[in-house]
Amino acid sequence: MSTVKKPDNLPTELLHHIDGKDVPSVDGATFAVADPVTDTEYGRVAAGGPADVDAAVAAARRAFTEGPWPRLSDRERAKVLNRIADAIESRADRLAELETFDTGLPVTQAKGQAHRAAENFRYFADVIVAQHEDAYLVGEKQVNYAIRQPAGVAGLITPWNTPFMLETWKLAPSLASGCTVVLKPAEWSPLSASLLPGIMAEAGVPEGVFNLVHGIGESAGAALVAHPDVPRLSFTGESGTGQIIMRTAAEHLKEVSMELGGKSPCVVFADADFDRAVDAAVFGVFSLNGERCTASSRVLVQREIYDRFVEALAARASAVRVGLPSDPATEVGALIHPEHYARVLEYVEIGKQEARLVAGGSRPEHLPSGNFLSPTVFADVPADARVFQEEIFGPVVCVTPFDTEEEAVALANATKYGLAGYVWTSDLQRGHRVARAVQSGMVWVNSHNVRDLRTPFGGIKASGVGREGGAHSIDFYSDLRAVHVAVGDLTGPRFGVARP
């Protein structure tokens, strides 16, 4: 059996955090969580249901209507956000330790997530202090101006792949906007979220502003989506779940922001910087264990360099270091959960029937147990293959040749997804053309996935609804209202007045 060192003082019981208190589920229900290296239970988590969600939403609603948080000045809220960032940074090593243990992510990559989480709060602290709204002079008789007000209680549902960073990605702008929140973390990776109550208390966040309800998506998540007192809902996860959420949210006309699945293309033209393109393709699909929505899981290569590129990609994949997540030398760790591991392995077997396996495809010999998979490369993958069309969410990449720019664009757009795209070429004009033609919410040209927090993040087609990031996030968690003020003798039609 693969061995794993448990973090010191590992909590064995994870409770909800509602109105400033750690509480069990109303009905006492719990569920087990296990680490992905040994698949051994390490603790029990409170299993939230409708009653727990009701309590959390009620606390958040009271904090919004009666508490100080929505009425603080932007500068005062920004100070609290910066203190949250300080508290996160002071726990960076602990966060990385818990995240690695709970998710199977390599520890060096988990450390990067912790620092990015702190930056989320610092960034939105700056945004709210610098933001301004518009005013319009209408002739000499009226002034119109816009005001921005927090929307109310925000429901936040986060995924299991990079849990803490994505929790803060939603928490930072919602709190910055003056909303109060109910967070429902993923049931497979709840551990790092257990640090959030202490972080919020240390930073001076008032009780009831931040609430945390653990639980299974079909119970706790569904109750949060359906709750009539939650006007904003932000979800990151699988596209099928996103469809269910949209149907439920429509009953109350909730505003939703959803970042969903992806099957992102990496288009490599013959004139590209070959070595940099290989580097980007390897990193783009195998970092974070391949469990990332923006993974470049379809590599489309122009035929002139196709065989050479496949050979190089296979060689690099075979050399990727697969090991215990806690080892700093590890580049690919353990997949999150036995159910997900089985799903990825099923796709590997499907791929063996649909394409040519050139690397990986099985468990590493030196890791006889645990959710480990060698980085896997399929070549000559047809566009109608399931491994080309469907999101695998693991260290598996498909490589397909193309001849012309038009064919490359057609292949890039040949799935239901549209989250990210990557283009490699030395022809800048072609880079711009293809970036515009690829149907995705984000495109990188001659770059891997490096994103500024100011830019819009989100997808099209089955990859999501709405945009977050920068001012787009503040827009989502706010209501923008127009005020029209007469400053002169502004007269209008006089209905019902007798005419001479």
Query: pLDDT tens digits, residue range 223-245?
Result: 999 999 999 999 999 999 999 99
Last residue of a domain, one of 418, 445, 472: 445
**Rounded distance, CA 152 to CA 229, Å?**
8
Do 230 and 366 lie in a common domain?
Answer: no
Tell me, what's the pLDDT at 485? 93
pLDDT digits (tens, 9 = 90+) for 240-286: 999 999 999 999 999 999 999 999 999 999 999 999 999 999 999 99
> Residues 363, 373: contact at Cβ < 8 Å?
yes
Residue 4 confidence (pLDDT) above 80: no
Do 36 and 180 lie in a common domain?
Answer: yes
Of 167, 187, 259, 291, which residue is the catalytic one? Answer: 259
Q: How many CB atoms lie within 10 A of CB 119?
A: 17
Out of 136-140, 177-181, 344-348, least confident range: 136-140
Residue 368 confidence (pLDDT) above 60: yes
Read off the pLDDT band of 43 (50, 70, 90).
Answer: very high
CATH number of the domain bearing residue 422: 3.40.309.10
Tell me the mean pLDDT in the region 134-151. Answer: 91
Tell me, what's the pLDDT at 25? 98
Tell me the mean pLDDT in the region 433-446. Answer: 97
Tell me, what's the pLDDT at 411? 98
Do 255 and 296 lie in a common domain?
Answer: no
Read off the pLDDT band of 112 (50, 70, 90).
Answer: confident
- Least Cα distance to 388 among 419, 430, 416 occurs for 416
Do 274 and 372 lie in a common domain?
Answer: yes
Number of structural domains in the chain: 2
Do 163 and 136 lie in a common domain?
Answer: yes
Tell me, what's the pLDDT at 470? 87
Do 41 and 190 lie in a common domain?
Answer: yes
Read off the pLDDT band of 327 (50, 70, 90).
Answer: very high
CATH number of the domain bearing residue 242: 3.40.605.10
- Least Cα distance to 242 among 293, 191, 192 occurs for 293
Domain that holds residue 421: 265-445
Tell me the mean pLDDT in the region 311-339. Answer: 97
Instruction: With respect to residue 390, please indicate whether it lies within any of the assigned structural domains.
Output: yes
Tell me, what's the pLDDT at 132? 86
Which residue, chain included where needed, has tokens 């945004």?
127
Contacts of 500 (CB under 8 A, 6+ apart): none
Tell me the mean pLDDT in the region 92-113. Answer: 93
Residue 499 confidence (pLDDT) above 90: no
**Rounded distance, CA 170 to CA 414, Å?**
31
Tell me, what's the pLDDT at 149? 95
Tell me the mean pLDDT in the region 370-396. Answer: 98
Kindly list the strands in the beta sheet with 478-486, ordered across the sheet, starting from the edge strand earlier in the chain.
135-138, 142-150, 478-486
Do 250 and 390 lie in a common domain?
Answer: no
% of the chain at pLDDT higher than 90: 91
Residue 445 confidence (pLDDT) above 80: yes
Q: What is the pLDDT of the chain when averaged over all its residues?
A: 95
**Rounded distance, CA 443 to CA 171, Å?**
26
Tell me, what's the pLDDT at 2? 55
Half-sphere exposure of 440 (CA within 13 A, CB side): 31
Do 83 and 20 lie in a common domain?
Answer: yes
| Angle between helical axes of 163-176 and 92-103 (0-180°, round to 10) | 130
Do 49 and 191 lie in a common domain?
Answer: yes
Do 274 and 215 lie in a common domain?
Answer: no
Compute CA distances 199 → 44, 115, 204, whole Å: 22, 14, 9
| 259 carries an active-site annotation | yes
Q: What is the pTM of this model?
A: 0.95
Tell me the mean pLDDT in the region 340-358. Answer: 98
Residue 322 confidence (pLDDT) above 80: yes
Read off the pLDDT band of 1 (50, 70, 90).
Answer: very low
Structure tokens at 11: 């909590």
- In degrees and rounded to multiples of 5, residue 292 shows phi and psi of -140, 140
Structure tokens at 449: 């996935």
Tell me, what's the pLDDT at 140? 84
> Residues 66, 92: contact at Cβ < 8 Å?
no
